Amino acid sequence: MTSKAKGLEPMAGPMADVDYDDDSIDLGQLLGILLRYKWVLAGLTLGTAALAFLITTAMTPIYRGSATLILEGDAVNVLSIEQIYDPINMQQREYLRTQTEIMRSRNLVERTVERMGLVEDQRVLAAIRDPGLMGSLPVIGQREDPLSADPTQRRRQIINWVRENLTIEPIQNTTLINIHFDSPDRSLSMAVAEGHGNTYIDSGLEARLEVTERAAGWLTERLEGLRTTLIASERELQQFREDNRLVDVSSAEESGGVVAISADRVRDLNRRLVEQQQERVAAENAIALLEDAPQERWSASAAVMRDPAMQELLRARTAAQSRIAELSGRYGPRHPQMISANVELEQISRSIATKANDVVASLRDQIRSARANERDLRQQIEAAEREVQGIQRQTTELSQLQRNVDTNRRLYDMFLQRFQETRQANFQEATARFIELPDEAPQVRPRRTLVTALASMLALMIGLGAVFGREMLNNTLRAIHDVEDQLGLPLLGHIPKEAVKRNAKNAMRTRFTDTEKGAFAEAIRGIRTSVVLSGLDTPHRIITVTSSIPGEGKTTVASNLALAFGQLEKTILLDADMRRPDLAREFNLPMSKGGISNVISGNTTLEEAIHHTEHGIDILTAGIIPPNPLELLSSKRFKAMLDALSKRYERVIIDTAPLNAASDALILSTLSDALIFVAKYESTPMPVIRNNVGSLRQVNAPVIGAVVNAVDASKPDRYGYYSGYYAYGSYSQAEADTGKG
């Protein structure tokens, strides 16, 4: 009757080696968590958004008036006295930064307050007396006036308030500056933004006028001294030129200035010397080539052939040779025409030799003449160089005098130009001007949409953190697939949670017969089918049902599984939970017939203790609670009773105590053909389940699988999967209604 006797190996397969550690991120699990808590997250987010919207609606609105100025950089150059000494213009970035700080300065804000009369402006006083964004909320009790009674102190408070709410914003890569002013009053925001811009423009005009007047007086004094210095330097330069006979031959394209006449002569003599040397060298090279060759070949040299007369003679010789060649084809050597042609050729050859001698003689004369000219030019160059060296000292002094004149002229021209600009400056033209005046003051605080969105996002992030934190701390069975993935047990089925929502607790024990077409009944049938399929070759006659801790639904599974088997086979249900038996009470069975303990003790026969119920199954209750239940279940009499029952019934379903409470299930597992382990969804801690499964593994218990109880099929598990029992139950109910079931 035992698993060993029947050759079963129920602990083999996936349960033999299970890896409980898995650090990988399961996206399906994350999605499942989000779907499980979607309404909580949605409620938290929407509630926070509504609260943020109500709070921002109750806040005092703040309006911003804006004006835009453009800085006129050219106008500022007229006023900058530093530009007189340093003609390099100030960088635009530094200038813009300076003007921005001027606009933010307390002095300029104070002038704006005075010009606009903000000290007595009721709008300003009301804004200071009702500060912050919560001014519109009701105030309990009397609030102290934040404005001082002292006029000086009150004026300082108003200036500080205006400065705090004033924003100067330069626009990058431009000379534009935005002036913003924030206040609870639209008209005040626009008025202060425009008024502060006018104050800045007027202060610039006043500063320009003051600086210009001071610069004009100083420039007048300096111009007289510069004019005298320039005239004296020009006279000194001109006198030096006249004394040293120097001529200014510079033009607009030349940068040298003064050029001495002697220097031009040296350059001309050097050029002529080079030309003479080139002619001489060419002639010497030609003579050298002729001397190396026989005289009869002089006429073929390049130097001789360049002579025009020689070229005519050579052409005549070529023509004579051609005529002789032509006549030789028709006449003999003694023919008069042949004789005449040979004589003519001989005369031309003598003329060529004579002309070649004349050309060679001419080259020798040319060499002698060139050498004489070279000696003469070298003497002239030496004399001219001595003259140039003599005036170099004068040129140096001339350059110094010229530089002095140029420097004095530039300085004088610059001061004269600045003086004229200063005298002719139009001081009605401002250093800045408006390009955009405030025509409206939009609300800038509170930004309801942004605050609401940020609050919603923050609430959602906090909610997600709380949800994921709760899930991380939750170590219960949160997915039906964990039975296979983490415990290594086959999943026989799972029972939906909705089916147990009854006020009467004992209604669950017979729920299968009460709702044969519902989701619960389909779940029990599925478990029954799994049990049958797990023992096709050797049917499981004795089946023990246990769990880890009380309250997981093992009795519900055992009783309803017995009812399901009772429809097909002869079945008996045993209450082997000898510590807290409750089948007799839940099935409303009389206690007088006794039970297992009475049969084992011999006080009652087995036939007398069995209850024949209206549900189609027999039940054997626990009977009187014994002092040592474990000893009773380990006895030979109990084993003999099971043997007798297995012969009379096709299925013996045993409901036993939880593993954490007692070791009864371990004893019964050695007497059973199969053991079903029950775990409650999102209730039993996984470490407890693992420990109990490990205990069963140690005794080689014939565990055929696990049943997950109280699964909420309306929401996904931690992997994001839904149970299909409700849909199937609805389908079964529809069949019943139409008569197809």
Read off the pLDDT of residues 437-484 as tens digits, 9 standing for 90 and up: 888 888 887 777 888 889 889 988 998 888 777 777 767 777 777 778
DSSP three-state, residue 718? coil
> Could you give the CA distance from residue 695 to residue 666 in angstroms, rounded to a whole number?
8
CA 351 to chain centre: 100
CB 63 within 8 A of CB 444: yes
Give the structural domain span for 291: 261-422
Cα atoms in the 13 Å half-sphere on the side-chain side of 540: 31
Say whether both 524 and 642 belong to one domain. Answer: yes
> Could you give the CA distance from residue 43 to residue 23 in angstroms, rounded to a whole number?
31
Q: Tokens standing for 609?
A: 């203790």
Q: What is the pLDDT of residue 29?
A: 67
Query: Is residue 504 packed enough to be buried (19+ CB in 10 Å), middle (13-18) or exposed (0-12)?
Result: exposed
Helix (H) / strand (E) containing 215: helix 186-243
Q: Give the mean pLDDT of 637-646.
A: 93
Q: What is the pLDDT of residue 588?
A: 85
Q: Tokens standing for 405?
A: 């004149």
Give the chain's mean pLDDT.
76
Q: Tokens standing for 449?
A: 């949409």
Which residue, 422, 441, 458, sits at the end of a domain?
Answer: 422
Of 344-358, 485-499, 594-608, 675-689, give the lowest mean pLDDT range: 344-358
CB 681 within 8 A of CB 480: yes
Decide if 433 is inside a domain: no
Q: Give the mean pLDDT of 431-440.
A: 83
Say whether both 392 and 490 belong to one domain. Answer: no
- Decide if pLDDT at 320 tops 70: yes
Q: Give the mean pLDDT of 201-222.
A: 74
> Could you give the CA distance from residue 713 to residue 171 in angstroms, rounded to a whole number?
61
Q: Give the mean pLDDT of 218-235.
A: 74
Cα atoms in the 13 Å half-sphere on the side-chain side of 424: 6
Q: What is the pLDDT of residue 725?
A: 44
Of 268-282, 386-400, 679-693, give the lowest mean pLDDT range: 386-400
Q: What is the pLDDT of residue 566?
A: 92
Decide if 605 is inside a domain: yes
Q: Tokens standing for 477?
A: 């069975």
Query: Which position has the higher pLDDT, 514 or 503?
Result: 514
Query: Which position has the higher pLDDT, 413 or 567?
Result: 567
Say whether both 497 and 609 belong to one domain. Answer: yes
Query: Among 553, 678, 568, 222, which residue's Cα sits nearest to residue 415?
Result: 222
Domain of 496, CATH number, reads 3.40.50.300
DSSP 61-81: PEEEEEEEEEE-HHHHHHH-G
Decide if 674 is inside a domain: yes
> Could you give the CA distance from residue 649 to residue 572 in angstroms, rounded to a whole number?
7
To 5 degrees, how large is the angle CA 296–CA 302–CA 305? 75
Query: Which position has the higher pLDDT, 739 or 630?
Result: 630
Query: Which position has the higher pLDDT, 294 or 216?
Result: 216
Q: Are strands 651-655 and 703-711 parallel, antiparallel or unpaired?
A: unpaired
Q: Give the mean pLDDT of 174-193.
A: 89
Decide if 203 is inside a domain: no
Q: Tokens standing for 505?
A: 């607790």
Say whether both 483 and 418 belong to one domain. Answer: no
Query: Which position has the higher pLDDT, 178 or 53?
Result: 178
User: Residue 247 forms beta bridges with which residues?
Assistant: 259
CB 258 within 8 A of CB 397: no
User: Residue 167 forms beta bridges with which residues?
Assistant: 180
- Only one residue has tokens 């017995």, namely 562
- Decide if pLDDT at 539 tops 50: yes
Decide if 27 is inside a domain: no
> Could you give the CA distance from residue 665 to residue 654 in angstroms, rounded to a whole number?
10
Query: Among 430, 76, 425, 432, which residue's Cα sits nearest to residue 216?
Result: 425
Query: Which position has the higher pLDDT, 564 or 423?
Result: 564
Of 260-269, 301-310, 606-615, 653-662, give the lowest mean pLDDT range: 301-310
Is the bond leading into 446 cis (omega within 30 degrees of zero)?
Answer: yes
Under the banding of pLDDT at 50, 70 and 90, the label for residue 557 is very high
- How many CB atoms are closer than 10 A to CB 5? 8
Q: What is the pLDDT of residue 180?
A: 92
Q: What is the pLDDT of residue 565?
A: 94
CB 109 within 8 A of CB 162: yes
Alpha helices in 255-335 (DSSP H): 261-292, 302-305, 308-327
Which residue, 387, 406, 422, sits at the end of a domain?
Answer: 422
> Could you give the CA distance from residue 616 to residue 559 in angstroms, rounded to a whole number?
12
Q: Give the mean pLDDT of 605-626.
A: 90
- Decide if pLDDT at 411 tops 50: yes
Whole-model pTM: value is 0.48
> Could you give the CA distance from residue 382 to residue 379 in angstroms, rounded to a whole number?
5
Number of domains in the chain: 2
Q: What is the pLDDT of residue 719?
A: 53
* Strands annotated E in 475-620: 491-496, 542-547, 571-575, 611-612, 618-620
- Decide if pLDDT at 581 tops 50: yes
Say whether both 604 and 700 belong to one domain. Answer: yes
Say whether both 405 and 516 belong to one domain. Answer: no
36-69: b or e for each residue (b if 16 or more CB lie within 10 Å)? Answer: bbeeebeebbeebbeebbebbeebbbbbbbbbbb
First CA to last CA across the chain, in angstroms?
Answer: 37
Query: Among 284, 300, 306, 283, which residue's Cα sits nearest to residue 352?
Result: 300
Query: Which position has the higher pLDDT, 638 or 261?
Result: 638
Task: List Cα–Cα distances, 701 to 220, 312, 529, 685, in angstroms.
Answer: 118, 136, 21, 21
Decide if 16 is inside a domain: no
Helix (H) / strand (E) containing 691: helix 686-698
- Decide if pLDDT at 579 tops 50: yes
Q: What is the pLDDT of residue 252?
A: 34
Say whether both 591 and 669 belong to one domain. Answer: yes
Say whether both 272 and 414 belong to one domain. Answer: yes
Residues 6+ apart with CB under 8 A from 298: 290, 304, 353, 356, 357, 359, 360
- Decide if pLDDT at 256 tops 50: no
Decide if 215 is inside a domain: no
Say whether both 296 and 376 belong to one domain. Answer: yes
Q: What is the pLDDT of residue 558?
A: 92
- Decide if pLDDT at 367 tops 60: yes
Q: Output DSSP code: residue 220.
A: H
Q: What is the pLDDT of residue 203?
A: 84
> Could you give the CA distance from residue 11 to residue 3 in angstroms, rounded to a whole number?
11
- Decide if pLDDT at 542 tops 90: yes
Query: Among 195, 192, 194, 185, which residue's Cα sits nearest to residue 443?
Result: 185
- Decide if pLDDT at 734 tops 70: no
Chain segment 151-178, per-residue pLDDT in tens: 888 889 889 999 899 999 988 888 889 9
CB 373 within 8 A of CB 276: yes
Say whether both 651 and 541 belong to one domain. Answer: yes
Q: What is the pLDDT of residue 295?
A: 54
Decide if 153 is inside a domain: no
DSSP three-state, residue 546? strand
